[in-house]
Every structure is written in structure tokens, then in C-alpha cells.
Chains A and B, each alone.
Chain A
Amino acid sequence: MEPSTTSRRNFIKQCVIGGVAVYSAPLLWEMSRANAAMVSPELAAQWQTQVNGQFKPKFRNDGIAKVTGQKVYGRDYRAMDMQGWPKQQGYAFILRTTDAAHIYQGFSLDHLPASAKPYKVITAADLVRDNITLPEFYGDNMLLSEGKTADYLGQAVAILLFDNFPAFKQAKSLLQFDANLLQFGEKTAFVSESKDPYATWRLIRVEGENGAREDIYSPLHDGLFFPSVKDRKPEWLSNPNAQGSVSERGIFYAGEIDKQITDAKANQQWQVLEREYRTQIIEPMMMEPEAFNGWFDAASQTFHTVVTSQSPQDFQEMAVHMLSSGPLAGKVKHLVVHSPYIGGGFGAKDHSIFPYYGVLTAMYAKGPIRLANDRFEQFQSGLKRHPFIMKSRLAVDKSTLKIQALTSQMTIDGGGRVNFTPSVASVGATAMQSIYYTPRNDITATAYASRNPDAGSVRGYGTLQSMTAMECMIHEIADELKVDPFKLRAANVMESGQRNTQGAIPNGTLRYREMLDMAEQDSVWQNRVASKKDYETKHPGMRYGVGFAIATKDYGTGAAAPSAVIRLSKEGKIALDIGFIEMGTGTQTSQAVLVSDALGNFADEVRLAEVDIWKAMQLVQTDNPYIISQQRQDEMAANPRWTPVKAMASSASMSAYYQSHVTRIAAELIYRHGLWPAAVSIWNELYFNTPMGSTNLHNSRDGRWVDGKLTALGFPPLSIDIIAKRAHDMGLVVGVMGHAFNRWAWAEADFDILGTKERLALDALALQYGEASPTFATTFNPKDRQASMTSNGYHLIDRQAISYPKAELNNAMVTYYAPCATLVEVAINEGNGEVTLLSAHTWLEAGKVIVKELVEGQIQGGLAMGIGHALHEGLPPFEDGAGNGTWNLNRYQVSLARHVGVWKQRHTILPQLSDTDPTRGIAEVVMIPVVAALIEAVYQATQVRFYELPMTAKKIKEAMA
């Protein structure tokens, strides 16, 4: 089997833009700006306040629009809201199959009354006739053809288009739940059974002698290897050889690990726990179901779209691919994509296939057309969290309590389309070790196709599943060894500098031990025995239990590519543009706040999801960054316009660290090459006896922002508007556009900025200069400087001495982590098995916190979602599952306030080590440890261990019986 080439980015190079210009239209961008025009300027300005001389966000800068019900989400927009669109809104919905075991034979709409007839029905025959295909990332069979068996349950069969809402409404009411609408013939095998695995990964590592710095064998040290496929299953080499190829050696060391476990178990040296853990299919249940609105304006040859996507950049590229064939082939010269706020994502709107059905619909529509899932449809067709089966072994030395080996065979159900399944499988495998150091490991993850709906990059990205299993093993083996689990953890916690299961050293300080020490001292843990006795005495019929768990979640993709541009107006207003979209996590707010470190003031305006402006950097991407060779990378890097990845999706846990990196650098450059020299100029001119002496204002690090004004070495504070005007008048740097690349390390290059060479963690840089006045432009020609801004209004700086992270760092797979721990106490009703959360305490290491309240929201929201995963949420597989189109919240229980101990939550955000700490990506980890903590708490309450989720009240009651 070849290594998976499915990544978040590799499809982009496969797209053909074909002369179609992509635009982000101003109307909705205006709407997505911080406190757009629907809010009075006076009210909008209140979002920032001052506390002890420092600016602080009083509320989210997108908050007023959201709390007053403005049109800011993709689903909100109708044709009448769109400038230049016809007012008549058309509607469409998709017919989907609930049978993946018989040959599909078509359907009839003859029984529909005339008032409910669609004006167009799109079927697979149209796609074949017009040569329309999905972008390669999504696979084939966009609509199921007659004569074929469906690939999966819920697969789209046809799209029905209507002129108006009443017709649409009437038809959908008649058709959506009509089990006899679609006709089927003979029974067949399931299509998924004929497919090879989506991906297989294997992480084998044996540490160096006595933990020496160099591994004997590991993916980073030796490389990854992959199996062949036989009978639709991976088949690994059977010729182990310690001196052989990477695969032969890998198999040799895997065999050695297995033998060591077997032998050490037999001779009683090691305690070996062997267990199987199963997780469920989860519906991410973001509150806004997916929607699309589109219209092709033939007169202007413009295809307009409004999407609800976490990854609009990718949509833009791939939509062009779709439009390159079909009825509009050659007719579309412009693609306009509006991607306003989304009402939650959790990964379900990251590379979802949904918007491409919208594109297809709009191709055939005679006017504006709206395709919007209801909740049944969202359950039926939306991306799911992958279910895992994990057969795992954990071996611990009985005398030292040190983990000796970890093995796991993970089987992952990827559903009907591959989507991000390969990378979810890989990240799940790499996360298995959690916070623990494992000197030997053999972890295999194989993802298969099934007839379940697609699964994708849903919050947790595979790590929720595997780290929960690891924590459960820690709990149980501690029990078997009769040691306190904190003592076992203390013996095995990974220390800074130790290698992970891939052989890579995690970046930064690992503060797991500090977090464990804090948790162990918590009164709930300390008093758990007495509390149990006391609670159960006072509450007959209730059982009490306490559980603790810890996790550390990677963040990043190994091919992160953030961009940012900051422009400082002559009036001192700061405008920040980034490629990320606001998913609700507060990116817009936090990025606006972030620039104040360097610029002393919040950004006055933050534009999201920008695409067009990056053209100024003229970047080109040619290869898949995950499998590029070092030689190829070196060759391509010689071109100063080349980058491994041009743009990245807005996925969980990515903005805080990756986007912040380039935003911060851009702000610092404006400070160093714009504001600081301008301020020095003012101080020299007005506040010192220049030229009779020197101010000694040579070091920009002497500058301090106080109350939004810049001071240094006692010179009078200057407000940003005054300094900005001078910066413009001096022709200094007033606009910075940067692009960065990270493969578990940042690319670095030298850049010449106004004659000063700086080494920056960027691989592309473009600058804007102020229009200098002759008064201040004494050492250069202002016209020359302005004339240098030839790249879409920017001066594109050629990088020098570029240093990209080595290609082999791909084998590290992940190295950035954020840890989180949760302690819960629960009471369980013996009569019905219901779990009541009595209290929860979460510890989180977020690095440098940008906006504390946003981090707290993540902690509390993550806890609720984790509780749902542990206790409530779950979809059955196959015909009874989501693909049958009958699921909704009436029988899919998500966490409600009464489930989460809403008044009884506490949290501790670890203080930063210093203000140079990175801002870690924490949006996923916060939901993970509570799952294993609840499993343990249920065990402590009931003496029943669960190996399969969710632990519903019914299951707990049955287990207690």
C-alpha cells in the first residue's frame, strides 16, 4: 500500500483554476467585520475597555451582531439580501437513499401534485451527460446511478429544484420520509466491502539503550513503512530482519516487543493489561445545519455562492474544479464566495462535501437557489466522529512502576467517503501514549470504508478515542498493581526532552507533572474515600465516585501555513486581515487583541477568511508537503515565491498558535520599522535638544505602551494616531503582509527591510510604505519607495537564506501539545443508572492566554461536549444509524445544563512560564480528559468498568444489576 496522500492540503495543487477569478465579495465581508455598520459606532467601540492601564476586551467584537440576531451566518442569507441578485429565491433538497444493500432502480414523482412539482431534477444521468465530477478529495458517485448499489447509507440520489418556497415545502413534506419513494432491485454485497482500507499507519519505536538520546528504531529515526493489501486488509511483511530495510527492521522490532511482553508477563516481571475499547459514532451537532445559496449570473458570467464552511479557501479552489465541466463549462469567468460566520463547526464543516451539492444545484438552477439541511438531513449526511475499536496492551514493570511497552491495534470506521480519515487515524495513533513515556511501542491504526455516513476531522481528531483508552488502562493497571494512579502516573509522566511514540521530541516545556501535582492536592481527590461514605449514607440509593484523567492533545497539521496582513492608517487605525474564519471560538476577537502587544492598541478592524489579498505575495505551491522529498524541497525552495503550502483551513486549535504566529510578527514589524522610528523622530524633534546631543533611543525594545500610548526612557507618551501620521510622512513601513510555514518547526528566512536585514520565521513578506513627505524624506526618494510597491500595492521582498523544516520531520507526525486534566465527582442513581455530575475541576495549560474569557468558554464547552461523548451521545452503525434519515435531537441526547453541573464547575488555567510562552491550541483537548475521568468515576461508584461508550443510564443500570 502506498502511504496515504490524503491531507488537508494536497488536493489544491490538483485543482485547475482554469482562468476563473475567485472573489470575496464586499457586502458580506462588511457584515463580517467587527461590529459592522448595523451597530452604532459608539456602541461598537465599547468592546474594548481599560483595566489598570491595559486594554481588555469587554466582550467579543462579533458579539453585538450575534446577540441581536443580525444576518451574519451563511444560513441567514436569501436572494433578497444579496446585492445584485434577483429577488426570487428558489429552493432545493436532496433525495437520499436509505438502502445500501440493493440495486437502486430509480424513482417517480408522478404522484406529486402540480403545485409541488420540481422544475428540475438532477440525477446521476445529468452528471454523466455533462461530465461533472466531484473534486478528487471527495471521491466519485456524487449522485447514485440507477443500476448501482449505494456506496453508503444516506448517499445522494437526486436533487429537486423548486421556484418557490410553498412548492418546495409541499414536496419535501411528501417525499422526505417516504420509504417507498426510491425503488430497489436485487440484493447485492455492500460496496464498502470491496474497498481497500482508507489508510494504515504503524508506529514502532524502541528507545536507545538505557533511554539513550538516539532511538534504536522509530518512525523519525528510520522512516514510516506501509503494508500491502490482501483481501481488503493490510498485510505486513513476514520477514523480520534487524539489519534489513525500514520495514524489515520495523517488523523485527515489533516482534521483539511482542516477545518481551510475553516473556516478562510469564516471568511475572511486568504487569500486562490487555483490553479492547470501543467508541461510538458521534454527530458533532453544531447548531447551524449546513446551508448553501448560489446563483449564476449569465450576464456577467459570475457564479455567486454563500457557504457555511470552515474551509472556504479550499471550497473556492475546488468549486472552480467543479465548474470547469458541466452546463456552465467555459461560461464562468468569476466565482464569488461569501463565507460569513458559521454557527458552530467542530470539524463537521471542514471539507464537508455539502457545499459541492450546492454548486451542482446552482449549475442547473434558473435563478438563485438555496440548499439547506434540516436537522434530519444533517444527521443523515453530515460528517461524523470516527468510531474506534482499540485492542491494546500496556506493560508496566512491577518493581519500578515504569511503563515498558504499549501496543495497540486500532480499527477505525471511516464511513462512505475517505475525507480526512487517513489523517484522523494517524493522529489517533500518535496520541495513544497521552502524557506517558513509553520506551517501546507498536501502534497500528487501520481505517476502513463502511456504509455509514462519512466521518471527518471532528473535534478531537482521533485523539479523544485513543487517549481515553490509555487513561482507562492506567486506571485499571494501577488497580491491578494496587498503587495509587497518581503514583503510577508520576512514575511514567513524560518529561521535557523525552521522545514520543514516533521518536520525536515534543516542543516546549511539558508541564504534566505540575498539573498532576495540583490535581492530586484537590480536596475532592484527597477526601474521596470519606466523601463516598458520607454521601452514600446521606443519599440512600445513590452511589458516589470520583474520577480523574489527563490528556495532552497535539495541535497542528504538520503543514500549517498562516497568513496575515496588518495595515496602519495615517489616522492610527489598525486593520488586520487573516485567512481564518470565525467558527465561534473567538478568533476575530483574540487576533484583534493580540496585536496590542506590539502596537499598544487593539486592531480596529479584523477581516476574516481573506483569500484574494494574498496574491500580493505571489506564492506558488507545487507538491504535497507531507510526502515531498528533501531534494525536491531544496530545489523548489530556491524560488523565493515557492512555499510548501499556500493556505490552511480554519480547523480547531489552529488559530491560537499558528495564526497568532504570523499576526504577531506582522505587528512587530510595523512597530520596529514604522512606529518606533516615527516616535523617535518626534521625540528627537520636539522633546530633546537635538542635534546638540543624542536621545539614546536606539533600541526599539525600550518602547513601552501605556494606556495606548508609546513611551520610552521617560519620553512623553505619544498616541498611535500621532505616531502613525509621522510614520506615513517618513515613508516607513505601515503595512506588513506575511506568510509562514510550519512543519513542527517554522520556516525561517532573511529579509531586507529598509536596508536592515532581519531573520524572521516567515517564508514570504510584502510591505507597504507610507507616502513620504519631502520634509521627512531626506535620505531617499519617496517616489522610488512608492514605486517599489508593485505587487498588488505591496513591495514584495525576496527572501534570502530560506530554511524550511526538513522533510523528514513529517515522520514526527506531531510535536506540539497542550495538556488538560479533569477531576469529576458523580452520583449514580441505583434505580435508573442516571449519572449526576456533582462537581468538575479542569486544569488547562494554554500557554500565553490572549483572552481569558474565551479560554474559559472553551473549557466549559469542552467539558459539556466530553460529558456527552461519555454518557449520552452515540449513533448505532448501519441501517439503524444516522444514514437512515430519521435521527434528530428527539433521540440523540446531547449534554444539557443539568448534565454538566453548571454551578459546580471549577477550572485552573496554569500560569504562563513567561510572557514569551506560545499561545497553545486548546479547543480540542478540553473535551478529552473528562471522558476517562467519568469512566473511572462510574467505576469507583459502581465497581463496573466500561469498555464501550457511551455509558448511558440504561447501560449503567444493567451493569449494576
Chain B
Amino acid sequence: MSQSIKLTINNQAVGPIDVADGVMMIEFLHEYVNLTGTKFGCGAGVCHACTVLVDDEQGISEVVRTCINGVERFNGKRIRTIEGHAKQNSLGEITALSPVQEAFLEHFSFQCGWCTPGFVNESTALLERLKRKPIAKDQVEKVIEDALSEHVCRCTGYVKYYAAVKDLILNTKGLTL
């Protein structure tokens, strides 16, 4: 049994592709379209390394774990993976990072980097939420905790990730009141 999958990944139309039943989204990304930036951590939906963004028609993003969600859930959807955040030139070279990527980089937030795609996606969604609905400055730490609390990092102990997101929120116009 197979299913036909068609979706948009990082603004690129993908498919239709015949995909076997039972294939998880992360397996589709890795084995069918060779996008391996989304990382496999636990395969059980716990560590959140595998999260991607699913964008609706209003541009509102949902953060979804790809290791526990079948590819069919994403059929017809628009998704963003870690490969889609930075800007590239015509040679395919990365020329500019997203604000979240830049913040993590300059705060030395990660070491091995395996958990980084999940943190980038979750934090990007958070910033987009705050852009729509700013919060008071004294609520910043709390919203970061709420957003990132389930992401597992084994190298840098979370501190530099959280500090990076906090700095970014406080220094980006329109995210706080």
C-alpha cells in the first residue's frame, strides 16, 4: 500500500511522491526528499529535535514533531524546515541567517548542534507569535520557558539557548510592550 504525497517545503513544491504506508514525516524528509537537517532524536516525540513548522494560509505556524506524525498529516500543507530559514544566493550559498539562527550562533548556544533545528523552529514560531501578540517584558522568561521546555539539549545545558531567545525578543521591536 502506498499514498501519494504532495506538499510545499521551504517554498518549493514537492511531489506528488508515492510513499509507503506508515512512513513518518521525518522518514519522508530523510529518505524520500533527502532533507536531513531535521534531526532524529528519540523517534518517540519526546526530545523535539525533529520539529518543523507547518504554516497555515494566514501565515500562522504550528510546531509539529515529525517523528511521531505520519507523512499524510502534512499532505497538501506548507512546511518550513531548518534548511528554509536562511537566505541563499543563486549559487546556493547561505548569505544571511534568520534572526533566531544568528542569535543562537552569536550566543554559542549549541555545541554538537543536533538539537539546534528543533530550537530554531520552536523559537521562530515563538517570535512570530509575539509579533502578532506582544507581551510585557516581565513575561519574556515565562513565554520562553513555555515554548522551549520540552526540547532536549545534552551539550550546553539550555542556558545559552534561553539567553539568546531572551535577548532577541527584548531587542526586536514590536515583540514586547
Chain A positions within 8 Å of B, measured between CB atoms, are 37-40, 42-43, 58-60, 62-64, 66-73, 75-78, 80-81, 89, 165-166, 169-170, 173, 285-289, 341-346, 374-376, 583-586, 853-854, 856-857, 859-865, 888-890, 894-898, 900, 902-903, 905
Question: Does B13 reach chain A (CB closer than 8 Å)?
Answer: no
Q: How far is the CA of A766 from the CA of B103 in the complex (A)?
A: 42
Question: Does B86 reach chain A (CB closer than 8 Å)?
Answer: yes
28 A-B residue pairs with CB within 8 Å: A40-B91, A40-B94, A43-B96, A67-B101, A67-B120, A68-B82, A69-B83, A71-B36, A71-B37, A73-B114, A75-B36, A78-B30, A287-B49, A287-B114, A343-B39, A344-B154, A376-B43, A584-B111, A584-B112, A584-B155, A865-B157, A889-B42, A889-B47, A896-B152, A897-B158, A898-B149, A900-B159, A903-B162
Q: How far is the CA of A287 from the CA of B48 in the complex (A)?
A: 11
With beta carbons under 8 angstroms apart, the residue of A68, A170, A862 that contacts B85 is A68
Question: Do the beta carbons of B85 and A39 come within 8 Å of each other?
Answer: no
Chain B positions within 8 Å of A, measured between CB atoms, are 2, 20, 22-23, 27, 30-32, 34-44, 46-47, 49, 81-83, 85-86, 89, 91-97, 101, 104-108, 110-117, 120, 141, 145, 148-162
Question: Do the beta carbons of B43 and A68 come within 8 Å of each other?
Answer: no
Question: Do the beta carbons of B92 and A38 come within 8 Å of each other?
Answer: yes
Q: How far is the CA of A274 from the CA of B97 in the complex (A)?
A: 58
Contacts beyond the supplied A287-B39, A865-B157: 7 A-B pairs with Cβ under 8 Å: A43-B96, A63-B108, A70-B37, A166-B23, A374-B40, A860-B158, A888-B44
Q: How far is the CA of A66 from the CA of B112 in the complex (A)?
A: 8
Question: Do the beta carbons of A67 and B110 come within 8 Å of each other?
Answer: yes
Question: Do the beta carbons of B43 and A374 come within 8 Å of each other?
Answer: yes
Count of CB-CB pairs between chains A and B under 8 Å: 211
In the complex, how many angstroms separate the beta carbon of A352 from the nearest chain B beta carbon? 16
Question: Do the beta carbons of A342 and B112 come within 8 Å of each other?
Answer: yes
Q: How far is the CA of A77 from the CA of B23 in the complex (A)?
A: 19
Q: Note all chain B residues with C-beta closer than 8 A to A43.
A: 93-97
Q: Which residue of A lies closest to B24 (CB)?
A: A169
Q: How far is the CA of A854 from the CA of B111 in the complex (A)?
A: 8
Question: Do the beta carbons of A67 and B105 come within 8 Å of each other?
Answer: yes
Question: Do the beta carbons of A59 and B22 come within 8 Å of each other?
Answer: no
Question: Do the beta carbons of A861 and B149 come within 8 Å of each other?
Answer: no
Question: Do the beta carbons of B149 and A585 come within 8 Å of each other?
Answer: no
In the complex, how many angstroms separate the beta carbon of B78 from the nearest chain A beta carbon? 18
Q: Note all chain B residues with C-beta closer than 8 A to A169.
A: 20, 22-23, 27
With beta carbons under 8 angstroms apart, the residue of B22, B32, B95, B111 that contacts A586 is B111
With beta carbons under 8 angstroms apart, the residue of B97, B105, B117, B159 that contacts A60 is B105
Q: Note all chain A residues with C-beta closer than 8 A to B114.
A: 73, 286-288, 343-344
- The secondary structure that dominates the B interface is loop
Q: How far is the CA of A286 from the CA of B123 in the complex (A)?
A: 22
Question: Do the beta carbons of A860 and B113 come within 8 Å of each other?
Answer: no
Question: Do the beta carbons of A584 and B113 come within 8 Å of each other?
Answer: yes
With beta carbons under 8 angstroms apart, the residue of A59, A170, A584, A889 that contacts B106 is A59
Known: A341-B113, A888-B42. A81 touches B155 (CB 8 A): no
In the complex, how many angstroms separate the beta carbon of A902 from the nearest chain B beta carbon? 5
In the complex, how many angstroms separate the beta carbon of A388 from the nearest chain B beta carbon? 22
Question: Do the beta carbons of B85 and A897 come within 8 Å of each other?
Answer: no
In the complex, how many angstroms separate the beta carbon of A113 from the nearest chain B beta carbon? 11
Q: Note all chain A residues with C-beta closer than 8 A to B40.
A: 75, 289, 374
Question: Do the beta carbons of A583 and B112 come within 8 Å of each other?
Answer: yes
4 cross-chain pairs, A with B, having the tightest CB-CB distances, nearest first? A69-B37, A584-B112, A66-B113, A69-B82
Q: Which residue of A lies closest to B113 (CB)?
A: A66
Q: How far is the CA of A89 from the CA of B27 in the complex (A)?
A: 14
In the complex, how many angstroms separate the beta carbon of B160 from the nearest chain A beta carbon? 6
Q: How far is the CA of A894 from the CA of B46 in the complex (A)?
A: 11
Q: How far is the CA of A60 from the CA of B83 in the complex (A)?
A: 19
In the complex, how many angstroms separate the beta carbon of A78 from the nearest chain B beta carbon? 6
Known: A170-B20, A343-B113, A856-B160. A60 touches B101 (CB 8 A): no
Q: How far is the CA of A75 from the CA of B37 in the complex (A)?
A: 11
Known: A169-B22, A903-B141. A40 touches B95 (CB 8 A): yes
Question: Do the beta carbons of B108 and A285 come within 8 Å of each other?
Answer: no
Q: Note all chain B residues with C-beta closer than 8 A to A78.
A: 30-31, 34, 36
Q: Note all chain A residues with C-beta closer than 8 A to B96.
A: 43
Question: Do the beta carbons of A60 and B108 come within 8 Å of each other?
Answer: yes
With beta carbons under 8 angstroms apart, the residue of A69, A71, A864, A903 that contacts B117 is A69
Question: Do the beta carbons of A894 and B101 come within 8 Å of each other?
Answer: no
Question: Do the beta carbons of A59 and B43 come within 8 Å of each other?
Answer: no
Q: How far is the CA of A60 from the CA of B149 in the complex (A)?
A: 25
Q: Note all chain B residues with C-beta closer than 8 A to A166.
A: 2, 20, 23
Question: Do the beta carbons of A375 and B22 come within 8 Å of each other?
Answer: no
Question: Do the beta carbons of A287 and B47 come within 8 Å of each other?
Answer: yes
Q: How far is the CA of A60 from the CA of B148 in the complex (A)?
A: 23
Q: Note all chain A residues with C-beta closer than 8 A to B36.
A: 69, 71, 75-78
Known: A287-B112, A289-B40. A863 touches B157 (CB 8 A): yes
In the complex, how many angstroms separate the beta carbon of A372 from the nearest chain B beta carbon? 8
Question: Do the beta carbons of A288 and B39 come within 8 Å of each other?
Answer: yes
In the complex, how many angstroms separate the beta carbon of B152 from the nearest chain A beta carbon? 6
With beta carbons under 8 angstroms apart, the residue of A37, A67, A896 that contacts B104 is A67
Question: Do the beta carbons of A287 and B108 come within 8 Å of each other?
Answer: no
In the complex, how many angstroms separate the beta carbon of B1 from the nearest chain A beta carbon? 9
Q: How far is the CA of A897 from the CA of B144 in the complex (A)?
A: 10
Q: How far is the CA of A371 from the CA of B87 in the complex (A)?
A: 33
Known: A69-B82, A287-B49. A902 touches B158 (CB 8 A): yes
In the complex, how many angstroms separate the beta carbon of A873 from the nearest chain B beta carbon? 11
In the complex, how many angstroms separate the beta carbon of A285 from the nearest chain B beta carbon? 6
In the complex, how many angstroms separate the beta carbon of A126 from the nearest chain B beta carbon? 27
Q: How far is the CA of A861 from the CA of B159 in the complex (A)?
A: 8
Q: Note all chain A residues with C-beta closer than 8 A to B105.
A: 59-60, 63-64, 67
Q: Note all chain B residues with C-beta closer than 8 A to A66.
A: 110, 113, 116
Q: Which residue of A lies closest to B117 (CB)?
A: A69
Q: How far is the CA of A905 from the CA of B157 in the complex (A)?
A: 10
Question: Do the beta carbons of A896 and B149 come within 8 Å of each other?
Answer: yes
Q: Note all chain A residues with C-beta closer than 8 A to B158.
A: 860, 864, 896-897, 900, 902
Known: A58-B106, A287-B39, A584-B113. A861 touches B157 (CB 8 A): yes
In the complex, how many angstroms separate the beta carbon of B84 from the nearest chain A beta carbon? 9
In the complex, how many angstroms separate the beta carbon of A475 from the nearest chain B beta carbon? 25
Q: Note all chain B residues with C-beta closer than 8 A to A856.
A: 108, 160
Q: Which residue of A lies closest to B111 (CB)?
A: A584
With beta carbons under 8 angstroms apart, the residue of B86, B101, B115, B145 that contacts A287 is B115
Question: Do the beta carbons of A897 and B148 come within 8 Å of each other?
Answer: yes
Q: Note all chain B residues with C-beta closer than 8 A to A70.
A: 37, 83
Q: Note all chain A residues with C-beta closer than 8 A to B38.
A: 69
Q: Note all chain B residues with C-beta closer than 8 A to A170.
A: 20, 22
Known: A63-B105, A169-B27, A898-B149. A38 touches B94 (CB 8 A): yes
With beta carbons under 8 angstroms apart, the residue of B107, B154, B162 that contacts A286 is B154
Q: How far is the CA of A807 from the CA of B64 in the complex (A)?
A: 58
